[in-house]
Amino acid sequence: SRQRRCFLMPASMVQCSGQCWLADLLLHWLHQVFGRSGDTKEDIRQKMCVAVVGVVELVSVLVALIYDALIMGPVNAEWLQNHRRIGICSSAVLVVANLTCMYYTGLTLAVKIFVILSWAVWILATSLWAMAGYPGWVLIILILDVSILLQKPEHAYVMRRLDCVVLALGAIHVTLLAYGEAIGIYASSASTQLSPASYWLTGVLTLVVNYYSVQGYANSARKEASALQASVFLAYKVADKLANYDLEAAEHLLQGGHSWSTGDGMEIVGPLSHLLRNLKAYRPFLPDALFKASADDMLAQIQSLTFVEELAHDTTDWDRVHKIVQRLRETEYRLTEFQEDIEASFCELRLFRVHALDQPWSSGRTAEDELHRTMGAFYSLYCFLRMDLDGQDVLAYGIAPEGSPRKAALSTDTEYRKRDALRQNFRWESTRELLLHAEILKVTSAGKVSLNHDRTVALLVLTAIHDIMKNKALLPTVQPQHAPYQGTKANEVIQDHDFALAYMLEHFPSLLPSFAGLEAAQRAPILFTTSRMNFNNGWLVQGEAPPGLLFSSFKKCIVKGRASEADISFYFVHWLTDLAGSELYQQRPWPGSEKFALKFPQHVLSAFIDSFSFVRQLAHQSEVDVMEDYLKDRWLALGPPVSLVPEGCEVASMRLALMAQGFEADAVAAFAELPEQDRACLACELARTGHSQQFSCAPAEIRNEPAGPALLIYYAPALLQNTKSVGIREALLILCGVLRAAREIFPLDKSPLGMQSHAIIRIDAIKDMMPTEIEKMSPWHLRQTSSTDAVIVQGEAIGPGEAAVECRPPTTPISGPRSLPKRPPQPMVLRSQNGARKF
C-alpha to C-alpha distance for 649 and 669, rounded to whole angstroms = 12
C-alpha to C-alpha distance for 106 and 332, rounded to whole angstroms = 38
C-alpha to C-alpha distance for 337 and 342, rounded to whole angstroms = 9
Between the two ends of the chain, the Cα-to-Cα distance in Å is: 46
- List per-block mean pLDDT (blocks of 10 residues) for the chain, which spans 839 residues: 37 45 69 74 82 85 79 60 72 86 85 87 75 69 85 83 86 76 58 63 81 85 82 82 74 67 59 74 59 48 51 80 94 93 91 63 80 93 94 92 78 79 92 94 84 94 91 84 85 86 86 87 87 86 93 85 83 94 87 90 88 90 93 85 78 92 88 92 94 92 92 93 88 94 94 92 92 90 93 90 78 36 44 40
Does the bond joining 284 to the residue before it have cis omega, within 30 degrees of 0? no
Look at strands 789-794 and 802-805 and give their pairing. Answer: unpaired
C-alpha to C-alpha distance for 102 and 119, rounded to whole angstroms = 15
Predicted pLDDT of residue 22: 65
Contact (Cβ atoms closer than 8 angstroms) between residue 644 and residue 664: no
Tell how far CA 43 is from the center of its chain. Answer: 33
Contact (Cβ atoms closer than 8 angstroms) between residue 339 and residue 378: yes
CA–CA distances in Å: residue 662 to residues 346, 603, 636, 658, 721: 44, 10, 15, 9, 8
Q: Provide φ and ψ at 158, rounded to 5°.
A: -65, -45
Look at strands 789-794 and 441-443 and give their pairing. Answer: unpaired
Q: Residue 243, class by beta-carbon neighbours within 10 Å (0-12 exposed, 13-18 middle, 19+ buried)?
A: middle
Helix axes 547-561, 520-529, angle to 10 degrees: 160
C-alpha to C-alpha distance for 839 and 827, rounded to whole angstroms = 5
Q: Provide φ and ψ at 820, rounded to 5°.
A: -105, 145
C-alpha to C-alpha distance for 520 and 530, rounded to whole angstroms = 15
Backbone conformation region of residue 106, classed left if phi is above 0, alpha if psi is from -120 to 50, else beta? left
Residue 173: CB partners within 8 Å, gap ≥ 6?
123, 124, 127, 136, 137, 140, 203
Among residues 511, 589, 521, the alpha carbon closest in space to that of 347 is found at: 511
C-alpha to C-alpha distance for 434 and 381, rounded to whole angstroms = 13
Backbone conformation region of residue 531, classed left if phi is above 0, alpha if psi is from -120 to 50, else beta? beta
C-alpha to C-alpha distance for 518 and 507, rounded to whole angstroms = 15
Q: Collapsing DSSP states into helix, strand and coil, what is residue 485?
A: strand
Strands (DSSP E) along 444-587, which ranges? 449-451
Q: In what order do the strands lie in the sheet with 802-805?
A: 710-714, 758-762, 789-794, 780-786, 802-805
DSSP per residue, 778-798: --EEEEEEETTEEEEEES---
Tell how far CA 590 is from the center of its chain. Answer: 30
Look at strands 835-838 and 829-832 and give their pairing. Answer: antiparallel
Contact (Cβ atoms closer than 8 angstroms) between residue 397 and residue 405: yes
DSSP conformation class of 449: E
Predicted pLDDT of residue 586: 79
Where are the alpha helices (H) located in 35-82, listed in sequence order?
41-72, 77-80
Predicted pLDDT of residue 217: 87
Contact (Cβ atoms closer than 8 angstroms) between residue 715 and residue 764: yes
Predicted pLDDT of residue 70: 74
Sign of the C-alpha dihedral computed for residues 709, 715, 717 and 719 taken in this order? negative
Among residues 454, 560, 467, the alpha carbon closest in space to that of 512 is found at: 467
Residue at 664: amino acid letter: E
The Cα angle at residue 139 between residues 138 and 145, in degrees rounded to 5? 100
723, β-bridge pairs: none
C-alpha to C-alpha distance for 215 and 160, rounded to whole angstroms = 10
Residue 529: CB partners within 8 Å, gap ≥ 6?
462, 567, 570, 571, 574
Q: Residue 93, class by beta-carbon neighbours within 10 Å (0-12 exposed, 13-18 middle, 19+ buried)?
A: exposed
Predicted pLDDT of residue 181: 65
Contact (Cβ atoms closer than 8 angstroms) between residue 711 and residue 758: yes
Residue 761: CB partners within 8 Å, gap ≥ 6?
711, 712, 713, 714, 738, 742, 782, 789, 790, 791, 792
**pTM passes above 0.75:** no
C-alpha to C-alpha distance for 579 and 381, rounded to whole angstroms = 11
3-state secondary structure 166-189: HHHHHHHHHHHHHHCCCCCCCCHH
Q: Residue 228, class by beta-carbon neighbours within 10 Å (0-12 exposed, 13-18 middle, 19+ buried)?
A: middle
